[in-house]
Structure 1
Amino acid sequence: MKGSILVLLVLIVAHTEAFSSKVREKVFIKDTIVNYFDTSGNPVKTKLASHSYQCIVPVGDDSRRLFNIVGYYTDTDSMKSFAYSRDSTVGFFGWKYVGESTVYYPHGQLKSVEKFDTDGVPMDSSYYYYPTGKLKMIVVHVDTGQSPFTGSRMIKPHYLLYADSLGNYLLKRGNGMLRLDYDDGTYIEGELKGNEREGKWTGWNMGSRYEEQYLDGVLQSGKRFRANGEVIAYDAETKESAPVLPLKLKQFMEAVYRQIDISDNLITQLKSRLINVTFVVNKDGRLSKFKYDQNIPIKASSQITTAIQAVGPWKPGRLQGEPVAINYTIPIQL
């Protein structure tokens, strides 16, 4: 659900560590990967420094392999979440879950139940609960057609019911007041009319408060109030912006290719001469966390990484007036 609010993709990379079955008894098997997180969901390196940890276990044979994604609270080793995914790594939109995904509070009470189809798209109804066990929210996922860019199905959440912690209904069938809270302490709240945002919405993310005005679901204006007293104004066109290259695209690619000189011997070791390079454009415009869509010799990847970084600093992407770290992909043809 959070992805419907934050459209720009902020890359989250977890530190991973391999464990054997001897370490965790029957819960873990060979090739299990463990990720550690703090209270805000940010990755940390050790269990001692973590609030929770996540175990990724391969299930099935190579042709039909799934990955069991199981989360635990560090203090008690009690279950935090349980789901299956088609991939062992977090993608741009999060985990690509398949089937039912469940999340639990630290004391064991069910927090949410969500369902996903074979493509990882939310389906049917999702249920959310308060720590007391009272029902908080029901969301129905409505198919709105096909994306013109990716061809994949587009799903829109329809907020069927929302209640406060005492059980009083604040929203029914897409009409009423709604508040969405997330594990990292961020939130957004306001009124829905016909399942569309209307009037004033307020929220907190990236360390500061913001206000937005909507009309029939369309953002009219927004303001972010920084802690130093600065106010940043934005509208529907300036709310989100992608990173800006240091040169025009054609000039940028020419500058990159001028610095790449990979031998034919290395090129013959590649599965494909077209390589997609993914990296993070950080808040300060620096590039980091380079990844490649195929296994290539270190001499080749190092040269490509150096060539891309050498062109110059980027202008970072922005969300609601704040610079954010965003994932970016460039195709390189050798």
Structure 2
Amino acid sequence: MKRSTLFLIVLIFIGAITEAFSSKARGKVFISDTIVNYFDKSGNPVKTKLESHTYQCIVPVGDQSSRFFNIVSYYTDTDSIKSFAYSRDSTVGFFGWNYVGESTVYYPNGQLKSLEKFDADGVPTDSSYYYYPTGKLKMLVTHIDTAQNPFTGSRMTKPYHLLYMDSLGNYLLKRGTGFLRLDYSDGAYFEGELKDNEKDGRWEGFNMGSRYEEQYLGGVLQSGKRFRSNGEVILYDAETKESAPILPLKLKQFMEAVYRQIDISDNLITQLKSRLVNVTFIVNKDGRLSKFKYDQDIPIKVSSAITTAIQAVGPWKPGRLQGEPVAVSYTIPISL
């Protein structure tokens, strides 16, 4: 189950170390540049298979006009399958993987852990099933339409929790009312009571190395506390729970400063498919900028000039989630 992040184009970034293998084509099915990512037990990227707990293979499938990527993960010790899905993109995006169709996840013992479905826009659809390692059903969720994404025009859905049971098969939640616990692969969790499918009362959880508590009324966050390991308590509410990175200048002044720094010849600009270039980068926990990516293939001199110009303006204040600084992806348009 995907976690919510900051908002729209400003979200927590998930990184991966990649290793490319040789290319080959098979008839009408195009397969090239398979990417392998290695991860430790906590989900952090590592460099080699030897030091990994799981590994992931990303294989392009289809022709150039309708290409998909087969995302398959394995448990390193046994080389048994951990997950299987298709995506329209070969990299983790702002909302996680942009899955299309069915996505399945398995426990190390081979039992099915989850079965989820996504429509052509990568939006969760139909019903999702979650299981215990014994094979018993843990949770059943259906996805109901709530709105239309104003940026993409795609449908937006909300999970409706039909059933949640303990490992013995006892019902803890029915039809959106009862106790619910959400567990994540990195060891984080979030648990509390739902009433008519809305969070209600006290919820507690653990992520980013510390415990937190939140108080809800009718699905609306009233107050929150994070308890850091050093004894510090951070308070937040619905308005301050998630905050985007803060630019070193006001937006208009920032963009003017960037444009003053950019020095690109007209000859290079004419080589671009579009003079509007969207650049995405990471604002790290310490405010440094890294991992610049561009939405089109552009000459290295152009991308280097834009990257240098953005970095030259100054350090940012990092985004925060529940009081903790987090690495956040940020996108800005550059018109050349």
Q: Same fold (TM over 0.5)?
A: yes
Cα shift at 1:18: 1.5
Amino acid at match of 2:115: V
Q: Who is 1:172 aligned against?
A: 174
Letter in 1 for 2:118: F
- Aligned counterparts of 2:258 and 2:5: Cα–Cα separation in 1: 35
Match for residue 69 of structure 1 among 71, 76, 84: 71
Amino acid in structure 2 at the alignment position of 1:184? D
- Shift of residue 333, structure 1, vs aligned partner: 1.0
Amino acid at match of 1:38: D
Q: Which residue of 1 aligns with 2:4?
A: 4
Deviation (angstroms), 1:150: 3.8
Give a deviation string over 1:38-84, Cα, whole Å, max 9, x none: 11222222111211111111222222221111111111100001111
Q: Does 1:234 align with 2:236?
A: yes
Letter in 2 for 1:46: T
**Which amino acid counterpart does residue 157 of structure 1 have in structure 2?**
P
Which 4+ runs in 1 deviate beyond 4 A?
5-8
> 1:154-303 maps to which residues of 2 (within 5 A)?
154-303=156-305
TM-score normalised by the chain length of structure 2 = 0.94
CA displacement at 1:21 relative to structure 2:
8.1
Q: Partner of 2:311: helix, strand, or coil? A: helix
SS at 1:255 equivalent: helix
CA deviation vs aligned residue, 1:190-214 (integer Å, no higher than 9, x gap)? 0000000000000001110000000
Q: Cα RMSD between the aligned structures?
A: 1.6
Q: Deviation of residue 6 (structure 1)?
A: 6.3
Q: Deviations over 1:90-142 (max 9, x none)?
A: 11111111111111001111101011111111111000001111110000011
For each residue in 1:212-237, what CA deviation from the matched residue of structure 2 results, as whole angstroms up to 9, or x when unmatched?
00000000000000000000000111
Secondary structure at the aligned position of 1:87 is classed as: coil
Give the corresponding residue for 2:116. Answer: 114
Per-residue deviation, 1:271: 1.2
Q: How far apart, CA to CA, are the structure 2 residues paired with 1:155 and 1:56?
A: 27
Measure the CA separation in 1 of the matches of 2:161 and 2:182: 11
Structure 2 unaligned regions, length at least 5: 25-30
Instruction: Please name the residue that 2:145 is paired with.
Output: 143
| CA-CA distance at 1:5 after TM superposition | 6.5
Per-residue deviation at 1:4? 3.3
8 Å CA contact 2:6–2:243 kept in 1: the answer is no
Equivalent pair of 2:5/2:12 in contact (CA under 8 Å): no
In 1: Cα distance, 2:105 partner to 2:33 partner: 24
CA distance in structure 2 between the partners assigned to 1:71 and 1:21 by the alignment: 20
Q: CA deviation at 1:12?
A: 1.2
Aligned length: 329
CA distance in 1, matches of 2:142, 2:105: 18
SS in 1 for 2:12: coil
Aligned counterpart for 1:33 among listed residues 13, 27, 35: 35
Residues 234 and 142 of structure 1, relative CA distance in 2, 3 Å threshold: same
Q: Any residues of structure 2 matched to 1:70-149 within 5 Å, and which?
A: 70-149=72-151
Q: Percent identity?
A: 84
Contact 2:104 2:115 in 1 (8 A): yes
| Partner secondary structure for residue 11 of structure 2 | coil
Q: Which residue of 2 aligns with 1:25?
A: none
Distance, in Å, in 2 between the alignment partners of 1:5 and 1:216 is: 21
User: For residue 59 of structure 2, what is the aligned residue in structure 1?
Assistant: 57
What is the Cα deviation at residue 306 of structure 1? 1.1
Distance 1:311 1:231, change over 3 A: same
Measured in 1, the distance between the counterparts of 2:147 and 2:295 equals 29
Q: Supply the distance in 2 between the matched residues of 1:4 and 1:50 (Cα, whole angstroms).
A: 27
The alignment partner of 1:156 has SS state of strand
Q: Which amino acid aligns with 1:164?
A: D
AA of the residue aligned to 1:151? G
- TM normalised by structure 1 equals 0.95
Matches within 5 A, 1:14-25: 14-20=16-22
